[in-house]
Amino acid sequence: MAAERQVWELLAAVADPEIPVLSIVDLGIVREVREEAGGRLRVSITPTYSGCPATDVIRTLVRRALDAGGFADAALEEVLSPPWSSAWLSAAGREKLRAFGIAPPEEPVTGLRQLTAAPPVSCPRCASRETIRVSEFGSTPCKAHYRCDACGEPFDYFKCL
Ligand SMILES: [Zn+2]
């Protein structure tokens, strides 16, 4: 148990290559750390957007963190099902995004509104929902570029999956 917690702590210090304010634990990329029968640790990760060039980088960063932390014999596996969902982003991660000026993903609205349009995106600066999408792609393919009508500031929106 102690080793598992140690690994979670190690991985919580691994920053996401695209959004360095978030750790891969904040993003929900680390799915499981478990000790197998022989005492060997197995770490399961689910990459975010499958087209993301960051996936290889993340795998390398996790391997390096495990090696450096004394867990060179830990197995690292990628779990592709179920696919990563922005719903896995932790509450702390959402706060960090907002503080960084990136609107966190809005949870899909169930019911009627789902039929009409994408959920409105709140401005990370003033929380206004009077925002417009300027471009499908922001600074990385995983983000869309928005502008707030209330405060006039442009911002990135972490796209929902
Ligand atoms: Zn605003």
Question: 18: which 2 tokens?
Answer: 């695209």
141-148 contact pairs (CB < 8 A, 24+): 141/49, 141/51, 141/52, 142/18, 142/48, 142/49, 142/52, 143/102, 146/103, 146/121, 148/123
pLDDT at 66 over 80: yes
* CA 11–ligand 1 middle distance (angstroms): 33
pLDDT at 135 over 80: yes
Q: Which residue do the tokens 């039929």 mark?
A: 115
* CA 151–ligand 1 middle distance (angstroms): 4
Q: Give the three-class secondary structure for 87.
A: helix
Q: What is the mean pLDDT of residues 11-28?
A: 92
Per-residue confidence band for 115, with pLDDT thresholds at 50, 70 and 90: very low
Integer Cα distance of 143 and 104 in angstroms:
10
| Mean pLDDT, the chain, integer | 86
Question: Which superfamily, per CATH, for 2-84?
Answer: Fe-S cluster assembly (FSCA) (3.30.300.130)
* CA 112–ligand 1 middle distance (angstroms): 26
Say what the pTM is.
Answer: 0.78
Output the pLDDT for position 110: 52
Per-range mean pLDDT, top range of 80-84, 116-120, 125-129:
125-129
* CA 35–ligand 1 middle distance (angstroms): 46
Which DSSP state fits 147? E
The environment of the single-atom ion ligand 1, i.e. residues with CB closer than 5 A, is 123, 125-126, 128, 148, 150-151
CB 86 within 8 A of CB 22: no
Span(s) in the chain for CATH 3.30.300.130: 2-84
pLDDT at 106 over 50: yes
pLDDT at 130 over 70: yes
